[in-house]
Amino acid sequence: MIDILCYRLLKDQSFLDIFVKNKTRLWKVSTRAKFDDSEYWRVLEMICAYHDKHKTLPTSSGLWNFVCLSKDLGVTEAWNAVLKEALNELQKMEPVRLKQCSDPNVLIEEVITEGRIENQKFIYQSGVNILIQGPSQLDEKGKKKNPTGPDDAKRFVIQELSKDIASASNEYEGVWQENSQVVAIKLDEYLNGKQKRVFSGFGQIDNRFVMRLGKTLVILGNSGDGKSLFTNSMIYNMAAKGERILYNALEFSVDETWEALAFIHQRHLRDRYPLPPKATWMRHDAMENPLITQADINNMGAILTDYANGGVSGPIDVIRKWTLDEFLAYYEANDPQRHYSVVVIDYASHLRLDNNFRNEGERQAAIDNICSRLVSWTHEKNKFLFVTPAQVSKTAAKDAVKRWENSEDEVGESGYTLDSLYYGNALKQDGDLVISVFSPEDLRKKTPPEMLVKCHKHRMTESFGQIVLNVDVDHEYVYDGLFEPLKRTVMQHEDDDDRIDKGLVRG
């Protein structure tokens, strides 16, 4: 298909708009190493370079002259001969071949898929070569000159797969005055729902604060303020509204995260399936401290059956990938089937760093680099809302408590500022949306306990200022006391109670 696309781009100026929309992806797929590398991939790369300079598509003769006269493309005389032959072959293309794919959108997607396949075949074959080759010689510092063995092969494959071709983008370029129709279309999309919003499930936030795909949300707080508590509650709310979640659980294990979500789900079915608090369940010991009854076990079985049967419509894919490359590779492998609309790393700062650092400043710079890559990746993909909690500095935490204790009214100077972030100019400067959670001791002692949530950055939306949310300690769930809590419809059939009456395993 790559030869058909090159033919169309060189012959048909009507392809210009669809080419511009997909140019970044086409350039990436044309320049990636391939197992079976046709000369037409280089032709496509030259077409992209021609458009960069002239803002239009070339003819065959125009591309030839451009390549011959351009000194910064690094084109050899040998490749000039290959280009000339390739352009001549395109002129001889049979009409029946051109009819194989006439839709420009389908053609471009098939070419990108073809390029990704060849690139990944090259990566896997290179990984095999690294895997089976003999011991590497050492350099003067005692380090291997070339990667060898299973660990190096795995590392190579993961790193290369994480550089996969960018997904489709809605980015535009051009003169503002010449694109008024695009502005009209975008404004209309806000009204008809095509510019998709992601709702947090907290009414006081959602009434003013807009979160969209392609944006980043940073949640600031100190240890004990409830960042993960707030994050898990929000993720559950999003999934209940149909969002498709990828959750990289680094603060708590995968099974601990699953358990937390199960008790949150039980809260919304507590009238039918009451349970003792999660803390009671954790303290249970069959011999020394029996606290959980058979009725409790049956009710928990019903809860598990309910969400397994669709009681929460949006899937929450919980994983634990400790390096950024492994995480990005997992996303690329699974997003085509799962179509994630929300991506969470709890926390981005917990991702492992490759190097040893001489001081804390170097370590913080490395964390900042990871955060910068994640923000850029989110903006480039433009397919999901990216969420990550972030720690505030010890000084900021102490100052926040001191201001709270000295405040004459409880809603005065409280919580954190944007500068409270412990690490990362990337999250502070490049992140789109930043909020904080703050839970001083006297708020935690209230009935019900309270949490202050404050907006610090609201790019392309409106600040919700500072609000108060309530905390259900028994279920480890944050909810908006000014709005009705989420209600769930039990998905199981009435006779499911009999099916699970012998315990959790059968539920």
Residue 454: what pLDDT? Answer: 94
CA R_g for the chain:
28
Q: Specify the DSSP class assigned to residue 350.
A: G
Q: Which residues contact 333 (CB under 8 A, 6 or more apart)?
A: 161
pLDDT in tens, 421-459: 887 677 888 889 999 999 999 899 999 999 999 999 998
Residues 320 and 427 in one domain: yes
Whether 110 maps to a domain, the answer reads yes
The three-state secondary structure class of 415 is: coil
Q: What is the tally of structural domains in the chain?
A: 2
Residue 409: band (very low, low, confident or very high) from pLDDT cuts 50, 70, 90? low
Residue 301: band (very low, low, confident or very high) from pLDDT cuts 50, 70, 90? very high
Residue 505: band (very low, low, confident or very high) from pLDDT cuts 50, 70, 90? very low
CA distances from 507 to 221, 224, 281, 302, 306 (A): 37, 34, 17, 6, 9
CA distances from 272 to 487, 488, 502 (A): 12, 11, 18
pLDDT in tens, 82-131: 777 888 777 777 776 667 666 788 888 888 888 888 889 989 998 898 88
Q: Cβ(301)–Cβ(503) under 8 Å?
A: yes
128/493: higher pLDDT: 128
pLDDT > 60? residue 504: no
CA distances from 387 to 30, 212, 218, 348, 465 (A): 32, 12, 6, 9, 19
Residues 234 and 367 in one domain: yes
Q: Cβ(302)–Cβ(497) under 8 Å?
A: yes
pLDDT > 70? residue 71: no
Residues 156 and 213 in one domain: no
Q: 188, 209, 219, 170: which is closest to 460 by C-alpha?
A: 209
Residue 498: what pLDDT? Answer: 43
Residue 213: what pLDDT? Answer: 93
76/235: higher pLDDT: 235
Residues 130 and 236 in one domain: no
Whether 311 maps to a domain, the answer reads yes
Residue 15: what pLDDT? Answer: 80
Residue 218: what pLDDT? Answer: 95
H or E element in which residue 2 lies: helix 2-11
Residue 500: what pLDDT? Answer: 38
Q: Cβ(476)–Cβ(232) under 8 Å?
A: yes
pLDDT > 60? residue 489: no
Share of the chain above pLDDT 70, in %: 85
- DSSP for 274-324, please give it: ----HHHHHH-BTTTB----HHHHHHHHHHHHHIIIIIS-S-EEEE---SH
pLDDT > 60? residue 480: yes
Residues 206 and 81 in one domain: no
Whether 185 maps to a domain, the answer reads no
pLDDT > 60? residue 42: yes
- Within 13 Å of residue 434, how many CA atoms lie on the same side as its CB? 22
Q: How distant is the alpha carbon of residue 367 from its chain centre?
A: 17
Average pLDDT over residues 347-362: 80
Q: Cβ(456)–Cβ(399) under 8 Å?
A: no
Q: Which structural domain, as residue segments, surrounds residue 459? A: 190-498
Q: What does the buried/exposed string (b/e) look like for 37-66 if buried means 16 or more CB atoms within 10 Å of the residue's CB?
A: ebebbbbbbbbbbbbeeeeebbebeebbeb
Cα first-last separation, the chain: 50
Residues 237 and 361 in one domain: yes
Distance from C-alpha of 340 to C-alpha of 331, rounded to nearest angstrom:
9
Whether 173 maps to a domain, the answer reads no
Residues 377 and 447 in one domain: yes
In this structure, is the dihedral angle defined by the CA atoms of residues 274, 243, 215 and 116, taken in order, positive or negative?
positive
| Residue 155 burial (C-beta neighbours within 10 Å; 0-12, 13-18, 19+) | middle
Residue type at 182? V
Whether 38 maps to a domain, the answer reads yes
Q: 314, 308, 374, 312: which is closest to 339 by C-alpha?
A: 314
45/472: higher pLDDT: 472
Q: Can you say whether residue 148 is alpha, beta or left, with left for phi > 0 and alpha for psi between -120 and 50 degrees?
A: beta
Residues 117 and 250 in one domain: no
Residue 27: what pLDDT? Answer: 84
Residues 207 and 154 in one domain: no
Average pLDDT over residues 24-32: 83
Distance from C-alpha of 432 to C-alpha of 506, rounded to nearest angstrom:
45
Q: Cβ(433)–Cβ(211) under 8 Å?
A: yes
Average pLDDT over residues 478-501: 59
Residue type at 442? D
pLDDT > 70? residue 194: no
Whether 169 maps to a domain, the answer reads no
Mean pLDDT computed over every residue of the chain:
83
Residues 117 and 228 in one domain: no
Residue 497: what pLDDT? Answer: 44
CA distances from 398 to 144, 222, 419, 456 (A): 47, 10, 14, 19
Report the CATH number at residue 247. 3.40.50.300
Q: 254, 371, 223, 234: which is closest to 321 by C-alpha?
A: 254
Residues 397 and 332 in one domain: yes
Residue 506: what pLDDT? Answer: 34
pLDDT in tens, 336-350: 899 999 999 998 888
Where is average pLDDT lowest: 11-20, 163-172, 296-305, 481-490?
163-172
Residue 496: band (very low, low, confident or very high) from pLDDT cuts 50, 70, 90? very low
Average pLDDT over residues 159-177: 64
Whether 170 maps to a domain, the answer reads no
Residue 384: band (very low, low, confident or very high) from pLDDT cuts 50, 70, 90? very high
Task: Extract the tokens encoding 132.
Answer: 């089976």
Residues 157 and 202 in one domain: no
Residue 495: what pLDDT? Answer: 44
pLDDT > 50? residue 309: yes
Whether 261 maps to a domain, the answer reads yes
Q: Cβ(325)–Cβ(162) under 8 Å?
A: yes
Distance from C-alpha of 192 to C-alpha of 197, rounded to nearest angstrom:
11
